[in-house]
Amino acid sequence: MNPFSLAHPKTFEESAELFSAKGGRFSLPVLKAGGMDVVDHLKEGLAHPDLLIDVKSLRSPGFEGSMIREERGRESGKPRMIVEGMTTLAEIAGSSMVNERAPVLAQAAGDAASPQVRNVATAAGNLLQRPRCWYYRNDQFHCLKKGGHHCYAVEGENKFHAIFSDGPCYIVHPSNLAPALYVLNGNVHLTGSNREALAISDLFHDPEEHVRSEHRLTAGEVITQITFEQGVNSGFYAVKEKQSFDWPLVFACVSLDLDGGKIASARVCAGAVAPRPWPMPHVEEALIGVDPDDEQALRHACSVATKGAKPMTDNRYKVRLLPVVVRRAVRKAAGLHVEDLWS
């Protein structure tokens, strides 16, 4: 590991200036909040910063106390929730306000990693963590994401890779929070540029747009806050190989508008199946008018979740899992019982 300097800026503006690396003596700055993914990159030889910028203790004006609050939307006038970017996953999962008004986000945060990690990992860091592909994480493989010429998953072991992707890279997006924020019409708020916010739906891109990155933040931009709509009828459901600390094989986030016990509209987004959070408009359309307690109608609506899927040699099982996961997330969002065993 190469030596590096450590900076403790006093404001987000200072951190953005350092991070932009414009005219300074540092050319490879890296931000560190909770530091879970940063430390992994340092240990694995995937990052070689000359400056580490510690932003964990920074707060936006007005967030000296509570890290989570509610306010009226600037444009719609509807109540929106605000989470400070440095809020930990444990704080989100344990927030009574989030659990009551946006349960999908609390559930997604509480399902991530282990209790030890959730106590340290931040909301902004969870959104911007790098992919967990074993070829990317192994310094012996110079893959596309590291400037190479091959995605080794195409002809290699691809059990945990994407079923929705046109390539050239087949990673799956690692964030639990991003799909949850998508169904809540979330935004990230920024400092370090002339734009103030970016919708979650616009934050991430496909590999064909830029294979070496996963998001559309520009150099020097720092996420300071995350805002999102309330979603009282919302839910998260994931399937893992084991229920202790593990990455999801497939998961789904759902937010519903209910009218007379039937679904008037829905927002559905899948995770661990594509290089970015994967919206499911076909499922959203099929769910309209469905009673979530009508098992046959619900199964039929969720069966379209796999439309457009292109499984690889080892991950066809995800095509079978995805409709089940979406159905169970819908039932959780509607406040219905969800069976524990796969069926």
Check: CB of residue 187 under 8 Å from CB of residue 226.
yes
Q: What is the DSSP letter of 215?
A: B
* Three-state SS at 204: strand
Amino acid at 86: M
Residue 179: the pLDDT is: 98
**CA separation for the pair 203, 178 (Å, rounded):** 9
**CA separation for the pair 181, 269 (Å, rounded):** 9
The mean pLDDT value for 116-127 works out to 96
Same domain, 54 and 69: no
The mean pLDDT value for 104-133 works out to 96
Same domain, 50 and 81: no
Check: CB of residue 262 under 8 Å from CB of residue 336.
no
Domain count, the chain: 2
Percent of the chain's residues with pLDDT above 90: 87
- Among 38, 58, 78, where does a domain finish? 58
Same domain, 140 and 15: no
CATH of the domain at 37: 3.30.43
Amino acid at 284: E
Burial of 41 (0-12, 13-18, 19+ CB in 10 A): middle
**CA separation for the pair 290, 336 (Å, rounded):** 14
Cα torsion 285, 290, 295, 300: sign: negative
Quickly count: other Cβ atoms within 10 Å of residue 194's Cβ.
6
Residue 342: the pLDDT is: 47
Q: Which of 7, 14, 43 is nearest to 28 (CA)?
A: 7
CATH of the domain at 278: 3.30.390.50
**CA separation for the pair 268, 230 (Å, rounded):** 15
Check: CB of residue 292 under 8 Å from CB of residue 234.
no
Same domain, 101 and 30: no
Percent of the chain's residues with pLDDT above 70: 95
Residue 23: the pLDDT is: 56
Cα torsion 135, 137, 138, 144: sign: positive
Same domain, 278 and 137: yes
**CA separation for the pair 104, 10 (Å, rounded):** 33
- Among 40, 58, 76, where does a domain finish? 58
Band of pLDDT at residue 247, cut at 50, 70 and 90: very high
Same domain, 53 and 81: no
Residues 6+ apart with CB under 8 A from 278: 164, 179, 269, 270, 271
Compute and round to an integer the Cα radius of gyration of the chain. 20
Check: CB of residue 77 under 8 Å from CB of residue 206.
no
Residues 6+ apart with CB under 8 A from 328: 237, 252, 338, 339
Same domain, 94 and 166: yes
Residue 343: the pLDDT is: 45
Residue 172: the pLDDT is: 98
**Full DSSP string of 84-115:** ETT-BHHHHHH-HHHHHH-HHHHHHHHHSS-H
Same domain, 24 and 99: no
Q: How is residue 81 written in tokens?
A: 């929730």
Provide the β-strand partners of residue 51.
Answer: 5, 29
Structural domain harbouring 159: 62-343
341 has a pLDDT exceeding 80: no
- Among 16, 35, 58, where does a domain finish? 58
- Backbone φ and ψ for 69, nearest 5 degrees, come out as -155, 180
Same domain, 143 and 103: yes
Q: What is the DSSP letter of 130?
A: P
Same domain, 167 and 101: yes
pLDDT tens-digit series, residues 202-240:
999 999 999 999 999 998 999 999 999 999 999 999 999
Mean per-residue pLDDT of the chain: 94
> Please, what is the Cα angle at 93 between 115 and 263, to 5 degrees?
135
The model's pTM is 0.95
Same domain, 17 and 133: no
Same domain, 31 and 164: no
Residue 66: the pLDDT is: 74
The mean pLDDT value for 240-258 works out to 92
**CA separation for the pair 154, 277 (Å, rounded):** 21
